[in-house]
Amino acid sequence: MADIPVRCFAVSVVLLRLVDGQPEVLLLRRNHTLVGEWCQVAGAIEDGEKAWEAALREVKEETGLACNRWYSADICEQFYEADCDAITLLPVFVGFVDSQAIVVINHEHSESRWVSFEEALTMVPFAGQRHVLRHVKVEFVDRKPVRHLLITAAGI
């Protein structure tokens, strides 16, 4: 019997802002991998980094944004990759940014867009992403986030 490896080498981040009391999600259009697809911030964990540190670094690198609140989303994005016959798990983080913060995308993306959760659900290509977005809306927008998920070690 063969085992399918489970790998965890990257992170995923849902960035949120409130504009006139309405929540918005940041999506980035990729031009490096998954070319042309709308996705949330994501990236690899570097040697010596904790997952939450990698996530904060990726937010800064991919968007130029600083988060004023930082949480574990208490969920993992997961998918099967046929090319390496492995299941990949990405811990998900949620960052809240100021409504007026300016997004500065890096070379990995061609465009950024703040959208409603409803619109984001129609834009992202994968079911796992939609599952994560629904979870984040319920647990971080519709209700007050559980205080135990706040990452204070991030110095935010």
CA–CA distance, 113 with 124 (Å, rounded to integer): 12
> Which pLDDT tens digit goes with each residue over 96-146?
999 999 999 898 888 999 999 999 999 999 999 999 999 999 999 999 999
pLDDT at residue number 153:
76
Task: Name the band, by pLDDT with cuts 50, 70 and 90, for residue 154.
Answer: low
If you count them, how many residues does the chain have?
156
Q: What is the pTM of this model?
A: 0.94
| Residue 11 burial class via C-beta count within 10 angstroms: exposed 0-12, middle 13-18, buried 19 and up | buried
Q: How far apart are CA 84 and CA 138, in angstroms?
A: 33
For the cut 80, the answer to whether the pLDDT of residue 32 exceeds it is: no
- Name the CATH architecture for the domain at 6-154: Alpha-Beta Complex (3.90)
3-state secondary structure of 104: coil
What confidence score (pLDDT) does residue 33 get?
77
pLDDT at 88: 93
Q: Which residues contact 9 (CB under 8 A, 6 or more apart)?
A: 44, 45, 88
Q: Domain extents for the chain?
A: 6-154
How high does pLDDT run on average in the chain?
93
Q: Is the dihedral of CA 129, 132, 136, 137 positive or negative?
A: positive
